[in-house]
Structure 1
Amino acid sequence: MQIRQALLTGIIACFIVLSAQISTPADDSYWAGVVEFSYEDKTVEEPDVYASKHLEKYIQLINSAEADPVDIIVFPEYGLNNIETASFVPDPSERIAPCNIALYETTVRDLSCVARQRQKYLVVNLVEKALCPEDNDSRPCAPNGLNRFNTNVVFDRNGFVIARYRKYNLFGENGINTTRTADVVTFETDFGVTFGTFICFDLMFDQPALQIVRNGVTDVIFSTMWFSELPFLTAVQIQQAWAFKNNVNFLASGASFPGIGSTGTGVFAGKRGRIVSVMNHLADIKLYVAKVPKIDRPEAVLVKQPHEKYTPLEMTDLKLKRDQIDGYYSTSLPMIGDTDFQSSLCQNQLCCNFTLNYTVQYVPGDQQYYRYRLAVHDGIRTFDGFADGAITACALLACTNDSLSSCATRFDNQSVVANAVQFNSIQIDGVFPGDEDVFLLPNSVDMSILPLEVEETEYSERLYTENFVEYKQIQYKLISPRSDLLAFSIWGRNFIQEPNSAKTLLHSGISATVVPITDARRGDSIQDPN
């Protein structure tokens, strides 16, 4: 009996490891790691070989010296396995550590074990399988009795599964199921931070992403295989903007396959801006480590890391989709010397006011240069046919010629491109519906496909009521000169406007005033040095 008791005690001691905290609730900050992970073509090898190879790379990153100071590590969407190698995942309420439990696939077992060995919180996206139906779900089930989900699984320092989020807003993803409603998933840590988590395309919707913030969560984990799109939705651009608007710490881990438009990883400290971020032009595998100040400690020291910033020429290797902006109402900026320019543009219920000061430089005839247009939009778009949504925007857009159809495109890598226009200041003002379901944010991107630093801009919102209707007056300003802008805008989603009730165009209009600052340059052509 004594021997049996000793063996049982030894097994329990091996299985339950006391948490080795790196950060504590008393600390002003915690340490996070986000992984940019090279996404490989899953058709080039057998699914089990693919999953095994990627699991090995994941464990190498977790065991690396770079990960030593980290409390929590986040991995990207669809980097680990696929439908053929989907795994069961314990219900977090059951408090199970799948390490060495044969019911679960090797991916889940080994990640549980390494989380325990390294004493790290891990957030890993994988394809999960689950018996159906679940929770009285009356929807048809697959003949094999299994649902498959795109799932973020959270392991604690002892390898227990403490949270499980199944992606609700799918972007295609054949063979993947969804829950009946969007789950709002959070989990607590031993360093005093409660996290929420969602996945990729979820960011474009109210549920569950914005509901997490409404519930008071200040730290968000985002796994993604984003397909970047000009002019408003390149990966780090929208990650920083979402974090800023909601004033949350945002831990984003991106799949890395620039040839299909996937890259974008970073850690963002709410309204204080990015700590570290990258948009790659070549596929890469790298762990980015950041010390993250807690949102409720505004005096905590924030150390921003230097950008991994690539040139516009290098970034032509990153494939970028183009938004459906041809329905925007727009006008071109006069390409004359030193100019003050004011314009008001309206479409449907939205009017935008622009006040700009910019300088146009001479460009030799053998070089290309970006022209610019001001644009306004209040209408519906499709997200590649997978969903439709209402968009509202006041924007300055770079274009490769004088037409709107050339905006949100770039010159190819054979072109010699000059930065012909320096924007000394930009101010955009708009009045939008005041409902919380109209979600607006400051939005910018430069020619390296990175957003401007928050210190280079000012953003403000003012709520007011007129005739018993609530409105938001929004102002977005550029306060540091820039000559490499691709877009600068107030951009957002209108969740209360149903996609199938797009409004008839009520009015489009423009008024503009051009005031050259230097009479000597008045009327100068961009290609006329005289």
Structure 2
Amino acid sequence: MLPSQALLPSVVFALAALQAFASDTFLAAVYEHAVILPQLTHEPISHSHALALMNKNMDVLEGAIKEAAQKGARIIVTPEDGIYGWLFTRESIYPYLEDIPDPVVDWIPCMDPSRFGPAPVQERLSCMARNNSIYVVANIGDKKPCNSSDPKCPSDGRYQYNTDVVFDPQGKLVARYHKYNLFVTERQFNYPKEAELVTFETPFGKFGIFTCFDILFHDPAVVLVSKMQVDTVLFPTAWMNVLPFLTAIEFHSAWAMGMRVNVLAANTHNNSMEMTGSGIYSPAGARAYFYNMETEDGHLLIAELDVHPRLSPATPPAVTWNSYALSVERLSQNDHEFSGIIFEEHFTFTELTKPEGNLTLCQKDLCCHLSYKMAEKRDDEVYVLGVFDGLHVVEGRYYMQVCTLLKCLSTNLSSCGQPVEMAQTKFEMFSLSGTFGTSYVFPEVLYSGVQLAPGEFEVLSDGRLMSKTKPTKPIIAVALFGRCYERDHEKQDPQPTDPPHDAHN
């Protein structure tokens, strides 16, 4: 029986809704925000002045949220520190904080704003989500009172947390996450007592959330993916780019590939702090990304993702990262190994002296194999194969195993490892692999101009990172960035003394 004419609009709407809920893909958005910062002061300002600044930032975020919703996005991620900035003392950030309840309370701040005391920021974010029928992810500050019955209670009687919140399309608070791995400058915040594993279900997959520096560590980032089996990671960040391996777009896209999960990464935008680089990443590569050190403008990204990426035919096969590298003999003997510094760590390098070749280079337990062919061997640019196997202890403590093909800053070999943004040498092909002692390896390819190379490389199931097509732009770095989480608490080896550098003119 055909529905009556009067019922037809509601039937069409219901069918459209069912079709949307049953879809294998969804539209996601991230917004890179140029944060309006407070004046630097060590004295607390009033709550009203703090709210006035936060409302200025939320005015901008609301515009991005409306635009994303109008274009069909189901969820939008905004950056860490995106509502009030950074570089606070413990006292000066206090006026910006709100008491954020556990989501089990079943609360829609937009409809009941004073249920847990003054919460104007949560109220406004909730209304943005509700008025635009979209999931909204934001980063704000949480405050929790404590007293002397808690031996860890700070002397001022409160905990302060760097906090992510998620509001669903009805405006309900559905997730709250307290950042676990604080960066060294975040002295205004407390560490939660343990890593929180925050997930929530949506009609378009299971989501997990963590913040910025968390991505370099096992808890909670790896646990959310490997044990909680989330489909998509929400990742507010205030990421300061560090070449050659830790620019935002480079590492976050590599993490999505290595962990075989979607990542929605929203960075703050501040050129003076080297902050830019947001993206919508799938296990097969970047679906959309933004990197711009030329202007101070924010930027909205929208792209389509698979609801369940592990089930998608586009997702590459699982990888045994050391399979190929363990099966091959050393491809050549290196007579000209030398040492160079990256991240204040001593990498071992060897120069690519020929237009094409096969090289092997080892440090401790890690041997890296490189096969390559240049379109042209230039006299004014030098590339090296590099390897590092050791514990990094500067601004965090993490054990790395890294194999890399790298452009040097100049033809002087002492410049190898220094940041490089531009190159002119094009490659016909490359293949990089290593005898990694971890299953957590993140494949990176960065082109001249600090650009990604989606669709132009692949990782084979035997652990080889290979060019899939002839690279269309000059290369500044290719890397396999391995993390040995279980070795993070080892003692640091003494650093070697530098052998003499070979040098060009």
Q: TM bucket by the smaller chain?
A: 0.7 to 0.9
1:81 equivalent to 2:84? Answer: yes
More deviation in 171-180 or 57-66?
57-66
Q: Deviations over 1:257-311 (max 9, x none)?
A: 12211111111122x211111111122223212222222552589xxxxxxxxxx
Q: Deviations over 1:390-432 (max 9, x none)?
A: 11111111112244542344579xxxx771x322111222112
Q: SS at the partner of 1:391?
A: strand
Match of 1:485 in 2: 475
Is the Cα contact below 8 Å between 2:69 and 2:134 reproduced in 1?
no
1:70 equivalent to 2:89? Answer: no
Match of 1:208 in 2: 220
Distance in 2 between residues matched to 1:26 and 1:65, nearest whole Å: 21
Is the Cα contact below 8 Å between 1:21 and 1:71 reproduced in 2?
no
Match of 2:103 in 1: 92
Q: How does 1:182-261 map to 2 (within 5 A)?
A: 182-189=195-202, 191-214=203-226, 215-261=228-274
Distance in 1 between residues matched to 2:458 and 2:62, nearest whole Å: 42
Is the Cα contact below 8 Å between 1:127 and 1:148 reproduced in 2?
yes
1:328 equivalent to 2:347? Answer: yes
Q: CA RMSD in A?
A: 3.0
Q: SS at the partner of 1:109?
A: helix
Distance change (3 Å), C-alpha of 1:502 and 1:44: closer
Q: SS at the partner of 1:228?
A: coil
1:496 equivalent to 2:500? Answer: no
Q: Deviations over 1:362-400 (max 9, x none)?
A: 56xxxxx4311111100122343xx12111111111112
Is the Cα contact below 8 Å between 2:25 and 2:204 reproduced in 1?
no
Q: SS at the partner of 1:327?
A: strand
1:373 equivalent to 2:363? Answer: no
Distance in 2 between residues matched to 1:503 and 1:418, nearest whole Å: 34
Is the Cα contact below 8 Å between 1:66 and 1:289 reproduced in 2?
no
Q: Deviations over 1:129-185 (max 9, x none)?
A: 122369x96413242x22111111011111111110110001121210121111110
Q: How does 1:393-432 map to 2 (within 5 A)?
A: 393-409=402-418, 419=424, 421-432=425-436
Q: SS at the partner of 1:107?
A: helix
AA partner of residue 37 (structure 2): D
Q: Which has the higher strand share?
A: 1
Is the Cα contact below 8 Å between 1:88 and 1:130 reproduced in 2?
yes
Q: SS at the partner of 1:213?
A: helix
AA partner of residue 69 (structure 1): G
Q: SS at the partner of 1:496?
A: helix
Query: Structure 1 residue 23: deviation in Å?
Result: 7.0
Q: SS at the partner of 2:268?
A: strand
1:130 equivalent to 2:127? Answer: no
Q: Deviations over 1:243-266 (max 9, x none)?
A: 111111111111011221111111
Q: SS at the partner of 2:240?
A: coil
In the alignment of these two chains, the number of paired residues is 439
AA partner of residue 426 (structure 2): Q
Distance in 1 between residues matched to 2:194 and 2:368, nearest whole Å: 36
Q: SS at the partner of 1:57?
A: helix
AA partner of residue 24 (structure 2): D
Q: Deviations over 1:297-352 (max 9, x none)?
A: 52589xxxxxxxxxxxxxxxxxxxx9426510111121x5xx32222111111111
AA partner of residue 402 (structure 2): A
Distance in 1 between residues matched to 2:96 and 2:423, nearest whole Å: 50
Distance change (3 Å), C-alpha of 1:67 and 1:404: farther
1:104 equivalent to 2:118? Answer: yes
Q: Deviations over 1:206-263 (max 9, x none)?
A: 1100000112111111100101111111101111111111111111111011221111
AA partner of residue 324 (structure 1): F
Q: SS at the partner of 1:444?
A: strand
Q: SS at the partner of 2:21?
A: coil
Is the Cα contact below 8 Å between 1:87 and 1:105 reproduced in 2?
yes
Q: SS at the partner of 1:480?
A: coil
1:47 equivalent to 2:50? Answer: yes
AA partner of residue 296 (structure 2): A
Distance change (3 Å), C-alpha of 1:344 and 1:427: same
Distance in 2 between residues matched to 1:148 and 1:105, nearest whole Å: 16
Is the Cα contact below 8 Å between 2:132 and 2:169 reproduced in 1?
yes
1:139 equivalent to 2:152? Answer: yes
Distance change (3 Å), C-alpha of 1:356 and 1:152: same
Distance in 2 between residues matched to 1:248 and 1:223, nearest whole Å: 16
Q: Deviations over 1:423-449 (max 9, x none)?
A: 211122211225x5xx21211211221
Match of 1:521 in 2: none
Distance in 2 between residues matched to 1:403 and 1:325, nearest whole Å: 19
Query: Which residue, 324, 343, 351 being the options, matches 2:367?
Result: 351
Distance in 2 between residues matched to 1:494 and 1:397, nearest whole Å: 22
Distance in 2 between residues matched to 1:296 and 1:493, nearest whole Å: 22
Is the Cα contact below 8 Å between 1:376 and 1:395 reproduced in 2?
yes
Q: SS at the partner of 2:113?
A: coil
TM (norm. structure 2) is: 0.80
Q: How does 1:301-340 map to 2 (within 5 A)?
A: 323-324=342-343, 327-334=346-353, 339-340=355-356
TM (norm. structure 1) is: 0.76
Query: Which residue, 176, 192, 200 being the options, matches 1:179?
Result: 192
Distance change (3 Å), C-alpha of 1:287 and 1:408: same
